[in-house]
């Protein structure tokens, strides 16, 4: 697998330096983010002064070598962890200032997350997996919404199949439908093609690109795969705990 440089090339600019006139409120803003891990007397700075702005409808890929802090960053954006300092503002709300319960509720309603492992419930059908978050949100249209989403991701004929009866690519498409169930402001993807062969991975990324284009879906993908990153509008390198804009190389 291809990897990215461990240190920042001198030609890169901070990720906040992109000259874009914001006509709408950003979906995501990271402001001077710090995350420090302590083990005894040893401190490890995973993130320092990390800054990033993502506008509505943008598709951003965050890249970097293994251990650079990509998963840490995603856990902070997803409200699964809190920073030592700084702000994580999603759709106008600083989730770093919310209580654990408030973050969980916000995440359920405003953030969709797709992981490398699909995390589907094995004894539920594809349709029932997608219905689950809708039912938790007390949506009366849970069945109809689940059927529409599964049809949109190309699984209209596989709705009644359980995960074990689906291929890896099909399971990831169900996971995408689950993440989109409650119409989140932001969709996060963490190495979602890592366990797929290259052809299947390309189909999954093509689906995300289509959803991004057709629904103005705001998408942040964490990856070490250059082919995955090349599909994004913007590529942001994480190195030395900071974020740096790169030129997107569309293929």
Q: Which pLDDT value is given to residue 199?
A: 84
pLDDT digit string, tens, across residues 159-215 = 999 999 999 899 999 999 999 998 999 999 988 777 778 888 888 888 888 888 888
Which residues are paired to 34 by β-bridges? 85
Which of 122-135 are b and which e, b meaning 16 or more Cβ less than 10 Å from the residue's Cβ? eeebbbbbbbbbbe
Q: What pLDDT score does 85 carry? A: 95
**175: number of Cβ within 10 Å:** 27
The three-class DSSP label of residue 161 is: coil
**Check whether domain 56-70+99-246 has CATH 1.10.1060.10, yes or no:** no
Q: What is the mean pLDDT of residues 89-109?
A: 93
Report the percent of the chain where pLDDT is more than 70: 89
Q: Give CA separation, 23 vs 53, 55, 185, 200, in Å.
A: 13, 9, 17, 36
Instruction: Please give the pLDDT value at position 7.
Output: 43
**Total Cβ atoms within 10 A of residue 249:** 12
For the chain, which residues make up each domain, given as ranges? 56-70+99-246
Looking at 55-159, which runs of residues are DSSP E strands? 59-63, 85-90, 93-94, 111-115
**Spatial contact of 218 and 56, defined as CB atoms under 8 Å apart:** yes
């Amino acid at each position: 697998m291809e990897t990215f440089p461990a240190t920042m090339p001198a030609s890169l600019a901070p990720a906040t330096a992109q000259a874009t006139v914001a006509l709408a409120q950003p979906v995501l803003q990271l402001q001077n983010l710090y995350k420090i891990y302590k083990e005894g007397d040893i401190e490890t700075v995973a993130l320092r002064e990390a800054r990033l702005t993502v506008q509505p409808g943008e598709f951003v890929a965050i890249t970097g070598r293994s251990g650079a802090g990509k998963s840490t960053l995603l856990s902070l954006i997803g409200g699964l962890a809190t920073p030592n300092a700084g702000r994580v503002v999603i759709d106008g709300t600083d989730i770093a200032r919310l209580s654990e319960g408030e973050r969980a509720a916000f995440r359920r309603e405003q953030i969709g997350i797709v992981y490398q492992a699909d995390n589907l419930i094995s004894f539920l059908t594809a349709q029932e997996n997608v219905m689950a978050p809708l039912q938790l949100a007390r949506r009366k249209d849970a069945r109809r919404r689940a059927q529409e989403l599964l049809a949109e991701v190309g699984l209209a004929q596989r709705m009644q199949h359980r995960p074990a009866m689906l291929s890896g690519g099909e399971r990831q498409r169900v996971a995408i439908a689950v993440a989109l169930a409650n119409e989140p402001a932001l969709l996060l993807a963490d190495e979602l093609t890592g366990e797929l062969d290259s052809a299947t991975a390309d189909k999954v990324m093509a689906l995300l690109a289509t959803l991004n284009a057709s629904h103005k879906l705001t998408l942040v993908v964490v990856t070490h795969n250059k082919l995955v990153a090349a599909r994004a509008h913007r590529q942001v390198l994480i190195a030395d705990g900071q974020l740096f804009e790169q030129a997107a190389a569309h293929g």
